Amino acid sequence: MHVFNPSNTVDRCLGVYVNFLDEFTEYFDLYDQSEYYYNYTILYCYAKVFDLLDDANRDGVLTIKLATETEIVKKITLRFDIKPSKYETIDSFVSLASFLRRHCRKLRDAALSGSSETPEIILMISGIEFADWVCSKLRETDVLTSDGANYFIKISVDDAHLASPDSQKRINNILYRSQAPIFWNIAYVEGQFDPFAIDNRMKYVTAHDREFVDLNYRDEPREFSFICEKIFEIRVTKELASVATEQPSDGPVDLKSYIGRLSFEEMFERMLAKSKKRSVLDSLNEYKEAIAGAMDRPNKVKSYQAFLASCIFPSISELRNFLDQRTSEQIDNYFRQKGAAALAVGARRLELSVPYEGFNTLMYLADGCLRDFLSLCSELFELDQERPPAKRAFFHGDHLPTELQTRAFTSYAKKYSAGLHDPRQPYSRELSKLIRGLGHLTYLLQTEDYRIASLLPDRGIFRIDFEPSQRSLFLEEDRAYERLVREILKEAVYTGAARIEDGSIGISTTIDLRLAGVLSPELQLAPRKPFRISSISYLQLRDLISPQSGMEAEDWSYRVYNQLSENIPSEIAHETLNPRML
């Protein structure tokens, strides 16, 4: 979620804005369906209705007029004017769907067939009021949590920077009252970036490409990658490509070719090749031979796996014990899953920066957020434009070098992090401190606790505990701090800096929270999440954000890290490294 803040400028997008993502096969077929289906129309009607209206408007079937900011309209009113005195009033999604089902297609067909009748439909609606109404309807139905319902609604408010101060306040109020799984895109920059504008010329993009796809990619990275390739492919036409490159182009240029297809395995190979520390390279050969002798299929052994072993296992004996207890398939899968965290460890040991390169890295940093993906791409594009024309990758089809990608990701992360600390926003200081503290704690878990983390469940999350046993119910001060922690966590979610995996901040006693991937370069994290679920009580967070404690974020993270290490079960508690010794 993104809280509306006109002073916190969002990076320009690539001219594609997704208003709503969903897939459905039928338009408004409501009559012979179950109650569940009836409720479900609330979720897809918002997009389908306006998609139909846009089609009809483009075809000249109807004219759409929006209410002005001074008109407070609390319901949808459609005036359908076939005859001068005949109107039809719509006051709900279902009646609106029924109306469009009965009339819009018929009118469109008539217009396309050359009919002279072009009746006017006036849509009287305030965008802000309508969004508020949508949220209230979503809260009234249980469709969001029903079995088999894994869909989300995304609402866009375009050109919000033009709204009056009162309207901006109302937008924020709606955002605070709404609940997941409603996702907001608030566009408050003066137009999106147009990739077809050559020589840095800018023009405002008023039309949005719409794609209707399932949002399950949030749980399936491969699906998310497919969607990004499908929606955000940079389409350079033959004419524009000829202008930009002075060479003809045969069609669309794949964005993936710019970012590169570098895998984590190749990252390790490059990182090792740059190392001048012979002692490290000598140890790699020893580990490589040990792995090759223990695995059933030595042809699958690669040098990066050997380096991972040196990062994860403190001795050759522990490595051999690990190999003896697993099949070759399990070993191969293990190293593939743990590669990203060990990459950060290895880069630090070899005194190299983490090579943020390759399309898969971009996917991990975007972390299922299409807006973050767009912003990262925009940062790459702008940095590429600073290069001499002959070396620019965009519109030439050349690969962006590693250094440029690392610079772009780090630059965007710094802008993102700086935007969290805005004195004009509530809890901004506390939020900035919270993100720094949790970020550094994540860094410790990735780089120091990697051997313990490797044996715990994948997919790192901070579990924040509000159970009554963790607090004093008799002290008003504790209850006040708990409310403060909850508000700051809300702010973290609303700004996009963190995401909730399970539950709701307002009512849950336990919240699973993870940081946004785009913060990784700024926080010196690997391109993936840590590998353990770390339980933190609200009392520990209180110590971080309380002005009275005077505790710095890094000092807090070291203390919590040591507490977490002490609570590791003895059967998996390897020798834990002291963070200050590395």
Q: What is the DSSP string of 396-429?
A: TTPPPPHHHHHHHHHHHHHHHHHHH--TTSTTHH
Number of domains in the chain: 3
Regarding whether 171 and 272 lie in a shared domain, the answer is: no
Residue 580 has phi, psi (to 5 degrees) of -85, -5
* 3-state DSSP assignment of residue 161: helix
What's the average model confidence in pLDDT over 526-549?
76
Residue 75 makes CB contacts below 8 A (sequence gap 6+) with: 90, 91, 92, 133
Residue 248 falls inside a structural domain: no
Regarding whether 300 and 198 lie in a shared domain, the answer is: no
Domain boundary, last residue among 329, 349, 369:
349
Regarding whether 188 and 92 lie in a shared domain, the answer is: yes
What's the average model confidence in pLDDT over 23-33?
27
Residue 421 pLDDT > 70: yes
Residue 460: per-residue pLDDT: 57
Question: pLDDT tier at 436 (50, 70, 90 boundaries)?
Answer: very high
Report which of residues 253 and 48 the model is more confident about.
253
Residue 413: per-residue pLDDT: 92
Regarding whether 284 and 188 lie in a shared domain, the answer is: no
Residue 39 falls inside a structural domain: yes
Regarding whether 201 and 60 lie in a shared domain, the answer is: yes
The conformation of residue 463, written as its DSSP 8-state character, comes to: E
Regarding whether 472 and 543 lie in a shared domain, the answer is: yes
Whole-number percent of the chain with pLDDT over 90? 2
Range of lowest pLDDT (187-196, 279-288, 396-405): 187-196
Report which of residues 134 and 146 the model is more confident about.
134
- Structural domain boundaries enclosing 288: 264-349
Range of lowest pLDDT (105-114, 290-299, 377-386, 513-522): 290-299
Residue 364 falls inside a structural domain: no
Cβ 238 vs Cβ 248: under 8 Å? yes
Report which of residues 346 and 245 the model is more confident about.
346
Residue 551 pLDDT > 60: yes
Regarding whether 560 and 434 lie in a shared domain, the answer is: yes
Regarding whether 293 and 193 lie in a shared domain, the answer is: no
Residue 562 pLDDT > 70: yes
Q: What is the per-residue pLDDT across 377-407, written as a single tens digit (0 to 9) for each?
A: 778 877 887 888 888 777 666 788 888 888 8
Report which of residues 417 and 307 the model is more confident about.
417
> Do the strands 153-157 and 120-124 form a parallel or antiparallel pair, or are they unpaired?
unpaired
Average pLDDT, the chain: 58
Regarding whether 572 and 484 lie in a shared domain, the answer is: yes
Regarding whether 562 and 487 lie in a shared domain, the answer is: yes
Regarding whether 183 and 69 lie in a shared domain, the answer is: yes
Residue 273 falls inside a structural domain: yes
User: 328-332, 407-411, 535-539: which has the highest mean pLDDT?
Assistant: 407-411
Residue 437: per-residue pLDDT: 92
User: 98-112, 430-444, 517-531: which has the highest mean pLDDT?
Assistant: 430-444
Residue 492 pLDDT > 70: yes
Residue 434: per-residue pLDDT: 92
